[in-house]
Amino acid sequence: MKIIACYKIVPYEQSIGIAQDGSLNFDKAELMIGQYDLNAIEAGAQLVEKCGGELTALTVGSQEVENSKMRKGVLSRGPANCVTVCDPGLKDADSATTSAALAEAIKSRGEFDLVICGEGSSDIYAQQVGVQLGERLGLPCINGVTEITAGEGCINVQRNADGETETLCIKLPAVISVASGINVTRVPSMKDILAAGKKPFAALTGADVALPGERYTETVSVLAPQHAARPCKIFTGDSEETLSAFAAAVNAELK
Amino acid sequence: MKLKKALVFSSNASNIASLCWGANSLAQESVAIVLGTESQANEAAAWAGKVLWLGEKAQGSMAESYTGAVAELVKKEQPELLLMGCGTRDRCIAAKLAVRLGAGVITDAATLEVDEAGSVLVKRNVFGGAAQATVKALGAMGIVLTSGGFDETAPAAAGSVEKLDVQIEDMGIQLLDTSAKQEETVDIAVAKRIVAVGRGLGSQENLAAAEDLAAKLGAEMGCTRPIAEEQHWMSRSRYIGVSGATVKPDLYMALGISGQVQHMVGAKSSKIIVAINKDAKAPIFQDCDIGLVADMNKVLPKLTQLL
Ligand SMILES: Cc1cc2nc3c(=O)[nH]c(=O)nc-3n(C[C@H](O)[C@H](O)[C@H](O)COP(=O)(O)OP(=O)(O)OC[C@H]3O[C@@H](n4cnc5c(N)ncnc54)[C@H](O)[C@@H]3O)c2cc1C
C-alpha cells in the first residue's frame, strides 16, 4: 500500500512566552511534531510493516516545516521519505488553507492508496483537516478511526463516533483521520535517528505546488488569560518526617 | 447587531434545542434541520422559526451520508451562520460542508457574537488552552461548532415543521456494523474533591491505592487524557482538560501528572491544587499550592493513613 501520513510542526505550548498584556511571544518557543499527528505516522508505519508498501510523511506550513531536527524526528518514526511544502503564505493557516495546500501537494505526487491524518493539530485542534482534505480530493473520507485492517481494494476500520462503535469498509484510495487512542507511538532508537538522517526528502515551496489564495476565517487576536500564581510549597522525599509534614500541610487546607 | 438568518443542524437531535437558543440570540430568523423522529422535529419547532425535517435516519445508513441533503438546504436558505454541535459526526459533516459550500469552519466555540459590521466573532481555545483566539468568519456564511451553553430563547414566531424527502449519498463507505458503547458517565464537574491520576501511575494495578486515598478523602476519581483515551484505565468522562471536563473542586490532588497546559486548563479553577510527582522539574510544581516530590506508588498507602 502507498500511504501518506500528514503532520504539522507546532510550537511546544509550555515554551511559548506570555507578555504582561497577555500577547504571545514565540521567540524562544521550541518546535515539536503535533502530538496527535504522531498517531497518524505510527498508524501508517504499522500498516506498511504489516502489509508492505511505502509510507511518505507530508507537511505544509511556513519555515518551521524545514527544521531539520523535526524532519529527522518524523523520519525516525517509520516513513521512508518526507515531503515538506514551505511558503510564507501558509503561516497561521486555518483548516481550509491547510487542507487545500495538502490536497495540491498530494495531487502533484501521483498515485497513492491511503492518506492518514491525526485527530487534530496540537495548536488549533479544530479536527477538520482530514475530512476537508478527503473532500477536496473527492475521495471517501471519515474521522475517528480507532483500528485499521487492510483488505482487497479497501480498508476495514473501527470508528468511534459519539458513543457508537462502527465497523466500516472504506473503498481505496481514501483519506482518514485517526483517534488518538488508535496506537501507542514509538520512541525512536538511536539507530532509527541515525538512519533518518540518510532518508530522502523533498523540500517544496509555493513555486512547486499551487497554493490556495482565499481565506475563510481570520484570527483577530490571540491572548493568554490572566493567571493567578499559586504558592508552590514543595516537600521533597518519602521519609516519614516529610510525609507527615506534607500531610499536615494538606490537612490544614482541608479543614 | 443581529444576523438575518441562522441555520441549525446536528446529527444528534438532542443538541438542536440548545443550538436554536444560540441561533435566536444571534439572528432574527432561526431555521433548524432535524434528522430524527417526528416528535424530535415537533420539539424543535418550539425553538426554531422553521423546522426542515429530514425524517429518521435510514436503517443501516450513517448521518454523514445526509451531508448532500443538508448542503442543498443551506444553499436554498442562504443563512449567514450555520450552527452545529461538537461531536465526531458533526465535525465530519461540517468539514464536508465547508469544502462543498466554500465556507469557513470555526470549531469548539466558547462564545459567539455578532459585531457591528455583522460578522460572526468566535472565541476558542488554542495552544491547548494556553491562549484564547478570537476568530472571525469571512465570506457569505460561516460554520460554527459549539457544545452549547446558551440561555434559553424562543424564536420570534412559533415554528412550523416541513417534512422533506431527501436522498442519502454514496460516500464510498459501507457501514458493516454499529453498536453503542457501554461506558460509565460521571459528572466530575460537580465534585468537591478530586484525586486525579496521570501516566505516573505506571500500571492499572496501582489504581487501587489511589482509589483508597480518594475513598478516605471522600473524593471522586479523575485522570489525564492518556489514562482514558490511550490506556483505557478510566472512562472518558473522568478526564480533565481542554478536550475533557472542566472542574472546580475545593481540593484537586494530582498524582503522577506532569501538568501540561492542556490538562491544567481544566483544573485551574480548583481552590487547592496538591501535586505528587517524582520529577522535581515537572511543570505541575509551578502551578500547585502544595507539592511532594516522591514516587506516588510508594507513598500513597502511608498518605492514606495520614490524610
Ligand atoms: C489538542 C490537545 C488536547 C489535549 N487535551 C488534553 C486534556 O483535555 N486533558 C489532558 O489531561 N491532556 C490533554 N492533552 C494531552 C497533554 O498534552 C498531555 O500529554 C497529558 O496531559 C499528559 O498526561 P500525564 O500527565 O498523565 O502524562 P505525562 O506527561 O507522561 O506525565 C507523567 C508524569 O508522571 C510522573 N511520574 C512517573 N512515574 C511516577 C511515579 N512513580 N510517581 C510519581 N510521579 C511519576 C512523571 O515525572 C511525569 O511528570 C491534550 C493534548 C493535545 C495536543
**Ramachandran class of B291: left when φ > 0, alpha when ψ lies in -120 to 50, beta otherwise:** beta
Say if residue B143 is in the same domain as residue B240.
no
Q: Is residue B171 part of a domain?
A: no
Q: Tell me, what's the pLDDT at B166?
A: 95
Q: Is residue B175 part of a domain?
A: no
Determine the structural domain holding residue B25 and report its residue range: 3-163
pLDDT digits (tens, 9 = 90+) for B159-194: 899 999 999 999 999 999 999 877 888 999 999 999
Q: Is residue B151 part of a domain?
A: yes
Q: Is residue B169 part of a domain?
A: no
> Averaged over B52-67, what is the pLDDT?
97
Say if residue B149 is in the same domain as residue B291.
no
pLDDT digits (tens, 9 = 90+) for B82-96: 999 999 999 999 999
Say if residue B155 is in the same domain as residue B29.
yes
Chain B, 18 to 37: residues with Cβ < 8 Å from chain A are: none
Chain B, 44 to 103: residues with Cβ < 8 Å from chain A are: 62, 64, 87-89, 91-92, 94-96, 98-100, 102-103
Say if residue B54 is in the same domain as residue B154.
yes
Q: Is the pLDDT of residue B121 over 80?
A: yes
Question: Within a 10 A sphere around the Cβ of B286, how many other Cβ atoms?
Answer: 16
Say if residue B135 is in the same domain as residue B11.
yes
Say if residue B142 is in the same domain as residue B220.
no
Eight-state DSSP code of residue B42: H
User: What CATH number has the domain bearing residue B145?
Assistant: 3.40.50.620
**ω into A173 cis (within 30 of 0):** yes
Q: Is residue B183 part of a domain?
A: no
Q: Is residue B108 part of a domain?
A: yes
Find residue A21's DSSP bridge partners: none
Q: Is residue B180 part of a domain?
A: no
Number of domains in chain B: 2
Query: pLDDT-derived band of residue B32, with 50, 70 and 90 as boundaries?
Result: very high
ipTM score for this prediction: 0.96
Pair B4, B114: CB distance under 8 Å? no
pLDDT digits (tens, 9 = 90+) for A225-237: 887 899 999 999 9
Task: Choose the final residue of a domain: B148, B163, B178.
Answer: B163
**B124 in helix, strand or coil?**
strand
Please name the helix (run of DSSP H) or strand (run of DSSP E) that holds residue A194, with its range, or none. Answer: helix A190-196
pLDDT digits (tens, 9 = 90+) for B225-254: 999 999 999 999 999 999 999 999 999 999
Ligand 1 pocket test target in B125, B205, B277 with most atoms within 8 Å of CB: B277
User: What CATH number has the domain bearing residue B296?
Assistant: 3.40.50.1220
Kindly report the pTM of this predicted structure: 0.96
Strand order in the sheet with B120-126: A217-223, B131-137, B120-126, B111-114
Say if residue B158 is in the same domain as residue B193.
no
Task: Give me ligand 1 centre to Cα B5, in Å.
Answer: 43
For chain A, list the domains and their CATH numbers: 2-225 (3.40.50.620)
Q: Which residue has the higher pLDDT, B102 or B148?
A: B102
Say if residue B156 is in the same domain as residue B208.
no
Q: Tell me, what's the pLDDT at B156?
A: 75
Say if residue B223 is in the same domain as residue B151.
no
Q: Is ligand 1 within 6 A of the CB of residue B206? A: no
Shortest-distance Cα residue to atom 30 of ligand 1 = B199
CA trace torsion A65, B130, A176, B111 (10° rounding): -130
Query: What is the distance between the alpha carbons of residues A26 and A15, in angstroms, rounded to a whole number?
Result: 8
Best CA proximity match to B34, nearest among B162, B195, B179, B180: B162
Q: Is residue B40 part of a domain?
A: yes
Say if residue B208 is in the same domain as residue B289.
yes
Say if residue B81 is in the same domain as residue B21.
yes
Answer whether B128 sits within 8 Å of A125, measured CB to CB: yes
